Amino acid sequence: MGWLVIGLLAWLGGWAINIRLAALPKSRLTGLAIPVIFGLSLVVIWESMVRGFDVSPILLPAPSAISVKFVGSLGILWQDFVQTVVKGALSGYAIGCGSAFALAIVIDRFPFLQRGLLPIGNFVAALPIIGMAPILVMWFGFDWQSKSAVVVVMVFFPMLVNTVEGLRATNMMQRDLMRTYAAGYWQTLLKLRLPAAMPFVFNGLKVTTTLALIGAIVAEFFGSPIKGMGFRISTEVGRLALDMVWAEITVAALAGSAFYGSVAMIEKKVTFWHPSQRG
Amino acid sequence: MIQRLWQRVAPVLSMVAALIVLWYGAAIWLNTHWAEDKAQRAGVTLTTAALIADTWSQEKPKLPAPHQVAHEIWKTTALKKITSKRSLIHHSKITLSSTLLGFALGTVLGITLAVGIVYNRTMDMSVMPWVIASQTIPILAVAPMIIVVLNAVGISGLLPKAIISMYLSFFPVVVGMVKGLRSPDHMQLDQMRTWNAGGGQTLWYLRLPASMPYLFTSLKIAMAASLVGAVVGELPTGAVAGLGARLLAGSYYGQTIQIWSALIMAAMLAALLVGLIGVLQRITLKHMGMA
């Protein structure tokens, strides 16, 4: 009973503080503090609900139990992280985004390819590509190469569509100006069109960060060596060791946020001129 | 008219044709090894023509040729009874129902959150960052746990899969709807104020109609995401039923043709559902005078 009261208090208290803070003029501090307080009160509510209702750890472990498990198995978590994120997701992300970017520039050069490939690209971007995972695992084996291949296929089309759209972002006036400067194709591309495409390119890069992680983890469900986050999740679920599963989820969430955050930070540096970054 | 249509369709068709040619070529390349192996053990040498014919008609090829997949789909849809467990239509129906349920739940949740975010400053500042953060968690990776845990509580069948679909589909709806509900400019909002319209009336007569184009765009993304959620949600249930189960069963037994046919079926389902929303979008926007 006591725990339930604490949970209720955390909820009301957190919400009250946030209402106060939200009424203050918007600043960097309130923009950071409010979501943090909201998140913290959620964790406290979770903890007290689990303790108050005596929820079995097989169903939902408490945050405290998860953090204990997390600290206790740092070695395994690190090994899984390297296998899945560094070897699988990052390599596939680099190959997939790089080749999609290159192909987008080629497509942009030839209007026929553009009219033919873009509808197909849009179509494929909406497909359940993750279903390719079992096939690619069959082709490339159980180790990280197949995970990397799944990631390549998953990030390729969103990236392609975004980049092609970005290359079209310049208007007639700007291109005419380049022509009056007697700029050739490559100069126009490097000096005008690629910089103008950057907001779209980064949109693609950001969207695909989560896809890359998902691809690498889900591909491990179809076969993997005895390490990796997807492997760990599926085997620990089988053993009903949910605290370990949640520890892996924490790693995945941290990795995903850090990945997304670092791309967003590069974006801020590169596209500082764009209205959405100046606000 | 026809010529303009042709101008749009011709490049796409030629690309599709090129892809199919490429697919046949890849099938030869990937399946040659096995064909030669087989021939060697049988003690015969294959002519090039026989080799190619063999690569396009193996039982468990590395990459099945398009006609093999088409044949498998035809065999498992048209020639099987719908109630049969081998019928792809049966499996598609199961996947479709959890997709649609998850999509409906996700849309309702997304619109509710968006309205709350637009009308409540506290909610905007505390919930919105977490909505974005929630998507950096690879939920698909957590899907097996959700399914297993909900099963342990006694919830099984459609709902666990639908919950995963919901989690994937609510995000695009929230983001799109927040943008859409905020799209009316100051002039229009001031006009509502001069008419002495309350919050509810502004929402109903101005903000919601203004958000329709945004809503439909997000719904298309949400539908595709929802289908992915349903397919992945079917993996950990032990390959019982649904397109995801077909994928898993196929990968266990090396039935590549079965994997590809389930994959193509899922693709057709996605195209159909997204296309349906596109039609709805055109009708609605035309009716509202926006398209």
Do residues B204 and B256 both lie within one domain? yes
Q: What is the residue range of B37's domain? A: 2-63
Task: Give the mutation candidate from A18, A66, A237 for the B interface (greatest B CB count, under 10 A).
Answer: A237
Residue A100 has pLDDT above 70, yes or no: yes
A&B contacts, CB < 8 Å? 156
Question: Is B211 a member of any domain?
Answer: yes
Question: Is B121 a member of any domain?
Answer: yes
B259: CATH: 1.10.3720.10
pLDDT, tens digit (0-9, with 9 covering 90-100), for B243-273: 888 887 777 787 888 888 888 888 888 888 9
Instruction: Note the pLDDT of residue A278.
Output: 62
Question: Is B95 a member of any domain?
Answer: yes
Do residues B54 and B115 both lie within one domain? no
Residue A91 has pLDDT above 90, yes or no: yes
Segment B4-28 shows an average pLDDT of 83
Instruction: Note the pLDDT of residue A277.
Output: 66
Q: How far is the alpha carbon of A182 from chain B, nearest alpha carbon, in Å? A: 32
In this prediction, residue A215 has a pLDDT band, given cuts at 50, 70 and 90, of confident
Do residues B179 and B265 both lie within one domain? yes
Query: From CA A213, how far away is CA B137, in angstroms rounded?
Result: 9
Among B228, B236, B251, the residue with its CB nearest the CB of A128 is B228
Determine, for residues A134 and B248 on separate chains, whether the beta-carbon distance falls below 8 Å. yes
Residue B2 has pLDDT above 60, yes or no: yes
Do residues B196 and B256 both lie within one domain? yes
Determine, for residues A127 and B121 on separate chains, whether the beta-carbon distance falls below 8 Å. no
Do residues B105 and B159 both lie within one domain? yes
- Chain A stretch 162-191, residues whose beta carbon is closer than 8 A to a beta carbon of chain B: none
Segment B168-186 shows an average pLDDT of 85
Is the CB of residue B262 less than 8 Å away from at least one CB of chain A?
yes
CA atoms within 13 A on the CB side of A110: 8
CB A218 within 8 Å of CB A133 = yes
Q: Report the amino acid identity of residue A194.
A: L
Do residues B173 and B237 both lie within one domain? yes
The dihedral region occupied by A128, where left means phi > 0, alpha psi between -120 and 50, and beta the remainder, is beta
By mean pLDDT, which of A25-39, B93-107, B128-142, B210-224 is the weakest?
B128-142
Please tell me the pTM assigned to this model.
Answer: 0.80
Give me B256's structure tokens: 């590549």
In this prediction, residue B132 has a pLDDT band, given cuts at 50, 70 and 90, of confident
C-alpha distance from residue B261 to each of B56, B91, B250, B279 (Å): 16, 12, 10, 27
- Packing angle, helices B139-153 and A194-219, rounded to 10: 40
Residue B236 has pLDDT above 70, yes or no: no
Do residues B104 and B191 both lie within one domain? yes
Do residues B211 and B104 both lie within one domain? yes
Do residues B41 and B151 both lie within one domain? no
Task: Give the mutation candidate from A221, A236, A248 for the B interface (greatest B CB count, under 10 A).
Answer: A221
Segment A217-226 shows an average pLDDT of 81
Instruction: Report chain B's mean pLDDT, rounded to a whole number.
Output: 82
**HEC string for A239-278:** CCCHHHHHHHHHHHHHHHHHHHHHHHHHHHHHCCCCHHHH
Segment A33-56 shows an average pLDDT of 83
**Of B16, B47, B63, which residue constitutes the final position of a domain?**
B63
H-helix segments, chain A: 2-23, 28-52, 63-72, 74-81, 91-109, 111-125, 133-140, 144-167, 172-180, 185-188, 194-219, 229-238, 242-270, 275-278
Is the CB of residue B11 less than 8 Å away from at least one CB of chain A?
yes
Determine, for residues B231 and A128 on separate chains, whether the beta-carbon distance falls below 8 Å. yes
Question: Is B71 a member of any domain?
Answer: no
What lies within 8 Å, CB to CB, of B84 at 6+ separation is B90
Query: From CA A138, how far away is CA B60, in angstroms rounded?
Result: 12
Question: Is B268 a member of any domain?
Answer: yes
Q: How many domains does chain B have?
A: 2
In this prediction, residue A97 has a pLDDT band, given cuts at 50, 70 and 90, of very high
> In terms of pLDDT, which residue wins out, B146 or B118?
B118
Is the CB of residue B236 less than 8 Å away from at least one CB of chain A?
yes
pLDDT, tens digit (0-9, with 9 covering 90-100), for B56-69: 877 778 788 888 88
Instruction: Note the pLDDT of residue B238.
Output: 53
Instruction: Note the pLDDT of residue A102.
Output: 93
Instruction: Report chain A's mean pLDDT, rounded to a whole number.
Output: 84
Do residues B121 and B54 both lie within one domain? no
Is the CB of residue B125 less than 8 Å away from at least one CB of chain A?
yes
Residue B101 has pLDDT above 90, yes or no: yes
What lies within 8 Å, CB to CB, of B249 at 6+ separation is B239, B255, B258
Is the CB of residue B130 less than 8 Å away from at least one CB of chain A?
yes
Question: Is B73 a member of any domain?
Answer: no
In this prediction, residue B109 has a pLDDT band, given cuts at 50, 70 and 90, of very high
Q: Which residues of B31-41 are buried (b: 16+ CB within 10 A; e: fewer)?
A: bbeebeeeeee
Determine, for residues A58 and B152 on separate chains, whether the beta-carbon distance falls below 8 Å. yes
Residue A116 has pLDDT above 60, yes or no: yes
Determine, for residues B136 and A39 on separate chains, whether the beta-carbon distance falls below 8 Å. no
Question: Is B81 a member of any domain?
Answer: no
What lies within 8 Å, CB to CB, of B203 at 6+ separation is B115, B119, B181
CB A52 within 8 Å of CB A237 = no
Chain B nearest-CA residue for A237 = B145
Is the CB of residue B259 less than 8 Å away from at least one CB of chain A?
yes
Do residues B116 and B216 both lie within one domain? yes
Task: Give the mutation candidate from B22, B63, B145 for the A interface (greatest A CB count, under 10 A).
Answer: B145
ipTM of the complex: 0.73
Question: Is B47 a member of any domain?
Answer: yes
Residue B239 has pLDDT above 70, yes or no: no
Among A117, A242, A256, the residue with its CB nearest the CB of B136 is A256
Is the CB of residue B83 less than 8 Å away from at least one CB of chain A?
no
Do residues B202 and B239 both lie within one domain? yes
Question: Exposed, middle or buried: residue B78 (CB in 10 Å: 0-12, 13-18, 19+)?
Answer: exposed
CB atoms within 10 A of CB B70: 14
Greatest mean pLDDT among A270-274, B8-12, B162-166: B162-166
- Chain A stretch 59-98, residues whose beta carbon is closer than 8 A to a beta carbon of chain B: 59-60
pLDDT, tens digit (0-9, with 9 covering 90-100), for A125-158: 767 777 788 888 888 888 888 889 999 988 898 8
